Amino acid sequence: MVLAREIPVAHTPEGGWKDEMPPPVLAGCTEPLAPGVADMRGLWKAHAVEMNGEPVDDLSHVERVEQCGNRVVITSAPIIHDMVCDGTLENGVNDVSGFNWQPINVAATWEDGKHVLRPNNEVIAVTRELDGDELVWVIVPLKRVTRMRRIDTDLVRE
Q: Where exactly are the structural domains of the chain?
A: 4-152
pTM of the model: 0.95
pLDDT score, position 73: 98
State residue 5 phi and psi, 5-degree precision. Answer: -70, -15
Please tell me the predicted confidence (pLDDT) of residue 158.
43
Residue 99: the pLDDT is 87
Per-block mean pLDDT, blocks of 10 residues, the chain (158 long): 97 94 96 96 97 96 97 97 98 95 97 97 98 97 97 68
Q: Which amino acid is at 20?
A: E
- CA separation for the pair 131, 146 (Å, rounded): 12
Q: Tell me the three-class secondary structure of the chain, residue by residue.
A: CCCHHHCCCCCCCCCCCCCCCCCCCCCCCCCCCCCCCCCCCEEEEEEEEEECCEECCCCCCEEEEEEECCEEEEEECCEEEEEECCCCCCCCEEEECCCCCCEEEEEEEEECCEEEEEECCCCCCEEEEEECCEEEEEEHHHCEEEEEEEEECCCCCC
Residues 12, 99, 61, 91, CA torsion sign:
positive
Residue-wise burial string across 93-128, b where 16 or more C-beta atoms lie within 10 A, e elsewhere: bbbbeeeeeeebebbbbbeeeebbbbbeeeeebbbb
Q: Which pLDDT does position 157 carry in this prediction?
A: 54
pLDDT at 156: 62
Architecture of domain 4-152: Beta Barrel (2.40)
